[in-house]
């Protein structure tokens, strides 16, 4: 798979297909507590992943990372359309495929532990997802006030705990992932610090 630091690297038609598939899968969904179409999130995650060194399989997985969890898409369908690597990355970015979802704390603790076991190519996509979400939380709390926290099923301190715990696991595997992963983690850490300050403020 070509790398983004290769000047000959470019996205293939598979990326275009994934963009269409993600848009169709999330059609009608909105970002939690907002009027923003949900597809804005996978687009943002894919953008972050590519900016920090994603290969095409990772970029495609970033577009599709919530389709198993939130859209009922199966791993088999993703594998059939986009290949086994994309399907594996999407599955490893998914913390639940059951409805209703398991209790929040147990589900998050399981995913935190899972991060220690995934292949290195998953780390960049998962961290890009968390960075995009963290940026959105910080921006929305700053713009709209503490009422934003009511969008979540947990208190702000638990939300911060989850992000800090993931950052710790990501950081422990910093040297295994793409070179840009360490830079991404710096930005994630900065957003978590801002989130923590807003949660305590």
CB 104 within 8 A of CB 131: no
Fold (CATH) for 13-200: Hypothetical protein af1432 (1.10.3210)
How do residues 80-119 score in pLDDT, each as one tens digit? Answer: 999 999 999 999 999 999 888 899 999 999 999 999 999 9
Whether the model pTM is above 0.85: yes
- From the list 17, 51, 70, 189, the catalytic residue is 70
Question: What six digits make up the tokens of 125?
Answer: 């996509």
Say if CB 76 and CB 34 are below 8 A apart.
no
Give me the catalytic one of 56, 66, 69, 196. Answer: 69
Q: What is the pLDDT of residue 3?
A: 43
pLDDT at residue 6, rounded to an integer? 53
Task: Report how far Cα 92 is from the mean position of its chain's Cα atoms.
Answer: 11
All residue ranges of the chain with pLDDT < 70 are 1-9
Using CA atoms, how far apart are residues 9 and 58, in angstroms rounded to an integer?
Answer: 14
Going from N- to C-terminal start, the domains of the chain cover 13-200
CA angle centred on 75, ends 69 and 81, rounded to 5°: 120
Question: pLDDT value at position 10?
Answer: 83
Residues 6+ apart with CB under 8 A from 81: 17, 18, 21
Q: What would the two tokens of residue 155 be?
A: 């208190």
Look up 193 and say whether it is catalytic: no
User: In the chain, what's the furthest Cα-to-Cα distance?
Assistant: 48
């Amino acid at each position: 798979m070509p790398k983004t630091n290769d000047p000959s690297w470019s996205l293939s038609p598979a990326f275009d297909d994934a963009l269409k598939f993600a848009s169709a899968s999330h059609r009608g969904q909105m970002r939690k507590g907002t009027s923003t179409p949900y597809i804005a999130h996978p687009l943002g995650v894919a953008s972050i992943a590519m900016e920090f060194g994603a290969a095409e399989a990772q970029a495609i997985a970033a577009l599709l990372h919530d389709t198993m969890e939130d859209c009922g898409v199966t791993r088999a369908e993703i594998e059939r359309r986009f290949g086994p690597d994309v399907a594996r990355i999407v599955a490893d970015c998914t913390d639940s495929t059951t409805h209703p979802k398991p209790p929040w704390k147990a589900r998050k603790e399981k995913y935190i532990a899972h991060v220690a076991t995934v292949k290195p190519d998953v780390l960049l996509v998962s961290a890009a997802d968390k960075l995009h979400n963290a940026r959105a939380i910080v921006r929305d709390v700053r713009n709209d006030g503490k009422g934003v926290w009511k969008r979540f099923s947990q208190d702000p301190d638990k939300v911060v705990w989850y992000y800090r715990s993931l950052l710790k696991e990501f950081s422990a595997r910093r040297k295994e992932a793409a070179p840009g992963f360490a830079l991404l983690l710096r930005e994630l850490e900065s957003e978590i610090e801002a989130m923590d300050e807003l949660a305590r403020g």
